[in-house]
Structure 1
Amino acid sequence: MGFDIKEILTATMVLFAVIDIIGSIPIIIELRNKVGHIQSEKASIVAIIIMIAFLFVGESILKLIGIDVHSFAVAGSIVILFLALEMILGITLFKDEHPETASVVPLAFPLIAGAGTMTTLLSLKAEFETINIIIAIFINTIFVYLVLKSSKKIEQLIGKSGIDVIRKIFGIVLLAIAVKLFVSNIQGLFH
């Protein structure tokens, strides 16, 4: 099948919602205030390497431990469901440690390429062509880089209430995606 604009757009939106870089702006600003500087380039490059590497070897790692992609996608849809509920309801279900340095570790992993992103990549791989997912990863990484570079300007421009509204909208999109992933992959478990 190969290159498909619809798949690229869908995968880009799914990853955008899961990575939730807009919702992470308050954390990014807090990090910048603590350490003075954020290594945007380094964090973006490491995040893209982690995501693409997991896209290719994630399935092999699963096979090694005896888990098929459909099972992982169903589990992933449940994780995505909880991420969506966090965004919509404004609650914290996942506990994140607040790092002391703003470089690769807090930003590239787990903030950008965290467990939710990894789960989503394998869930997408069960449905979409790999090339389309890679393009979606690149699009998201460019956006992440731009947000990291201009987080202060964005905060001043849309304010806290604007960020909250965006998070809730993407939370609803993510919830719908979680339901779709669950339904399409739960059938694969029984065939």
Structure 2
Amino acid sequence: MTLSFKEIISVTLILFSVIDIVGSLPVLIDLRKKVGKIESERATVVSGALMVSFLFVGERILKLFGVDVASFAVAGALIIFLIGLEMILGRTIFKSEVEAGGGATHIVPIAFPLIAGAGTLTTIISLRAEYQTVNIIIGIVINLILVYVVLKSSEWLENRIGPGGLAVLRKIFGIILLAIAIKLLKTNLIADF
């Protein structure tokens, strides 16, 4: 286990792109208007617990199904690629499972699937094929801090960035995700041969 600043930055950017908390601002803003308040602390802790536990237990779950990490990484790369396409083209490929609920129930749609959804969990286990665990954990923690800041300041961000700014950010992160997906595909397809 070696700390690598380069790996930490890579993991942080990959997860930031997949979680797409800035791109989820419209959903968060709509949810806040419906329920009145977002419990930022609880949503962040729950999503963090999901991500870290999947980092450690996810591989064991794969072994139960007889799937190796390289194959899962290829599947994850395909999902990351599709998420990137969604962001760039503005089309919905994955059906949204986010439904606003009342009271404390909005923790579930925010923590899962909005923050720690299928794409994020798939990406985390895919990252294990290429990055050190300690660097992935640090990348997760950095993203949780960013998620918390965005959740806490969603109203302020809505006023400052505007719809045009959100659209531009979404497209930029979409292109980054496409490049990451292609890199993961190349690395793990070559590992299989």
TM-score tier, shorter chain, comes to: over 0.9
2:150 corresponds to which residue? 147
Letter in 1 for 2:112: F
- Equivalent-residue separation in structure 2 for 1:47 and 1:189 (angstroms): 32
What's the counterpart of residue 116 of structure 2? 113
Is the Cα contact below 8 Å between 1:42 and 1:103 reproduced in 2?
no
**Distance in 1 separating the partners of 2:4 and 2:94:** 34
Measured in 2, the distance between the counterparts of 1:168 and 1:20 equals: 11
Q: Which residue of 2 aligns with 1:26?
A: 26
Residue in 1 that maps onto 2:65? 65
**Whole-angstrom CA distance in 1 between matches of 2:136 and 2:185:** 19
Does the aligned pair in 2 maintain the 1:48–1:137 contact within 8 Å?
yes
Cα distance between partner residues in 2 of 1:93 and 1:15: 19
Distance 1:86 1:98 in 2: 16
The residue aligned with 2:141 is 138
Q: For residue 51 of structure 1, what is the aligned residue in structure 2?
A: 51
Q: TM-score with structure 2 length normalisation?
A: 0.96
Q: Within 5 Å, which residues of 2 pair with 1:1-191?
A: 1-101=1-101, 103-190=106-193
1:21–1:112: 8 Å Cα contact kept in structure 2? yes
* Superposition TM-score, scaled by structure 1 size: 0.97
Runs of 5+ unmatched residues, structure 1? none
- 1:51 partner amino acid: M
**Structure 2 Cα separation of the partners of residues 119 and 183 of structure 1:** 17
Q: Distance in 2 between matches of 1:105 and 1:98?
A: 9
Which AA in structure 1 matches 2:9?
L
Contact 2:100–2:106 (CA under 8 A) maintained in structure 1:
no
Partner deviation per Cα, 1:90-114 (whole Å, 9 max, x = no partner): 1100111332326321011000001
Note the alpha carbon deviations across 1:60-99, whole angstroms, 9 max, x for none.
0000110000000000000000000000001100111332
Structure 2 residue runs without a partner (length 5+):
none
How many matched pairs?
190
CA distance, structure 2, for counterparts of residue 157 and residue 100 of structure 1: 24
Identity of aligned residues (%): 58
Amino acid across the alignment from 2:96 = D
Letter aligned with residue 133 of structure 2: T
In 2, the alpha carbon distance for the partners of 1:157 and 1:33 equals: 18
**Aligned 8 A contact 2:98 2:113 in 1:** no
Report SS of the residue matched to 1:103. helix
Mapped to 2, the partners of 1:97 and 1:131 lie a distance apart of: 31
- How far apart, CA to CA, are the structure 1 residues paired with 2:91 and 2:62? 31
Could you list the structure 1 runs, at least 4 aligned residues long, displaced by more than 6 angstroms after superposition: none
SS in 1 for 2:67: coil
